[in-house]
Amino acid sequence: MKEKASIKRLQLSQFKLDSLLNVTLAINQNMSTERLLKLYERIIREDLNIGKIILYTYNNGWNIVLVSGVTEEMYGKINPDRDLLPNIEITNLVNTENKNLAPFDVIIPVFHKNLPLAYVLLGDIDEERDGISPVIKHLHFFQTLSNIIVVAIENKRLYKEIIQQETLKKEMELASQVQTQLIPSPDSLPNNDKIQFSAFYQPHFDVGGDYYDVFELDEDNYGFCVADVSGKGISAALIMSNFQASIRALFTVNMELAPLVQRLNKIVMQNTNGDKFITLFVAKYNTATRELQYVNAGHVHPVFYDASSRSSQYLS
């Protein structure tokens, strides 16, 4: 009998080592999170005959990523912040007074640098059977296995975030380059005995959907505009690039502002399928008559300052 028991213990130990090796190999082969969880579930439920398992992981809030052998009625009232967070070590739930946790036998927390990454709830299939509970019997193995699986899942999540951040960074760099080409430099603005233009641009974000421009229509007439496209990033920069090309092609000395805005609006709607919009302030100034015409299409009201009277007003 003792020999059989020893052989059985050796076989069980070998199984656990093989299981940990298989999990490690699966992680090294970049197995998906879904397949890792399936492997984790199979080892615990099918191979070691554990009846109930729930795995909570944290990602901008607590989420159940694996539930097996458990009805929603059993776990629906569990509040991770209230019921799980107080448990910083493996906790036996056999005599728990918390009714929400009563269907389970043990809580296994997974921490990294004092931060909780996950909580595992385990329970036996047959609560009435004699002998040592499989949950208790294999507890240290479950702890080791859970740590390996949870850390692997967390590393996958962090890696995915890094890739997304790098992709966004490259997109924003490209958008910044596009936007830099759109915004005229102050030195390029008209500056003569008839009119002087000056500009300063400071985006609120690294890359905005902003645009301004000045157009020398003829020797007496100048046009200028300020615009902002909804959204940010490369898509906004490309939309504004197309808008710049359109307004430069259409804005002539003989083009009235109202039909100009109408044509620009039609182009924007066609190019964006109505998913984006551009606010625009566009004006035409005649240096000979000192007449200013403008159209404000939903843009923040510019301020007109009259130096002679030292007064100002909004151009709505």
Residues 149 and 270 in one domain: no
Distance (Å, whole) CA 33 – CA 69:
20
Residue 196: how many other CB atoms lie within 10 Å: 9
Contact 283, 294 (CB under 8 A): yes
Residues 78 and 211 in one domain: no
Confidence at residue 124, expressed as pLDDT on a 0 to 100 scale: 83
Confidence at residue 271, expressed as pLDDT on a 0 to 100 scale: 86
Distance (Å, whole) CA 266 – CA 241:
16
Query: Does 156 map to a domain?
Result: yes
Residues 137 and 245 in one domain: no
Query: Does 62 map to a domain?
Result: yes
Query: Does 116 map to a domain?
Result: yes
**Model confidence over 56-106: pLDDT tens digits?**
999 989 999 999 998 888 888 999 999 999 999 999 988 889 999 999 999
Q: What burial class does residue 17 get, using C-beta atoms within 10 Å of its C-beta: 0-12 exposed, 13-18 middle, 19+ buried?
A: exposed
Domain boundary among 162, 191, 210: 162
Residues 20 and 137 in one domain: yes
Helices (H), the chain: 2-28, 33-41, 72-75, 134-137, 139-182, 233-250, 257-272
**Model confidence over 149-202: pLDDT tens digits?**
999 999 999 999 999 999 888 877 777 777 777 788 888 888 898 899 888 887
Q: Is the pLDDT of residue 204 over 80?
A: no
Q: Is the pLDDT of residue 129 over 60?
A: no
Distance (Å, whole) CA 16 – CA 139:
12
Query: Does 125 map to a domain?
Result: yes
Residues 100 and 191 in one domain: no
Confidence at residue 126, expressed as pLDDT on a 0 to 100 scale: 58
Residues 227 and 102 in one domain: no
Q: Is the pLDDT of residue 207 over 80?
A: no
Residues 101 and 206 in one domain: no
Domain boundary among 99, 127, 162: 162
Q: pTM of the entire structure? A: 0.63
Q: Is the pLDDT of residue 130 over 60?
A: no
Domain boundary among 162, 192, 219: 162
Residue whose C-alpha is closest to residue 208's, from 247, 177, 176, 249:
176
Residues 189 and 155 in one domain: no
> How many residues appear in the chain?
316
Query: Does 173 map to a domain?
Result: no
Q: What percent of the chain has pLDDT over 70?
A: 94
- What is the pLDDT of the chain when averaged over all its residues? 88
Residues 152 and 27 in one domain: yes
Confidence at residue 1, expressed as pLDDT on a 0 to 100 scale: 59
Distance (Å, whole) CA 55 – CA 33:
13
CATH number, residue 156:
3.30.450.40
Residue 199: how many other CB atoms lie within 10 Å: 15
Query: Does 40 map to a domain?
Result: yes
Query: Does 178 map to a domain?
Result: no
Q: Which residues contact 113 (CB under 8 A, 6 or more apart)?
A: none
Residues 119 and 87 in one domain: yes
Residues 289 and 206 in one domain: yes
Give the chain's domain count: 2
Confidence at residue 237, expressed as pLDDT on a 0 to 100 scale: 80
User: Domain range holding 124?
Assistant: 2-162
Confidence at residue 259, expressed as pLDDT on a 0 to 100 scale: 94
CATH number, residue 286:
3.60.40.10
Contact 153, 33 (CB under 8 A): yes
Confidence at residue 95, expressed as pLDDT on a 0 to 100 scale: 86
Residues 87 and 230 in one domain: no
**Model confidence over 295-314: pLDDT tens digits?**
999 999 999 888 888 889 98
Distance (Å, whole) CA 23 – CA 43:
10
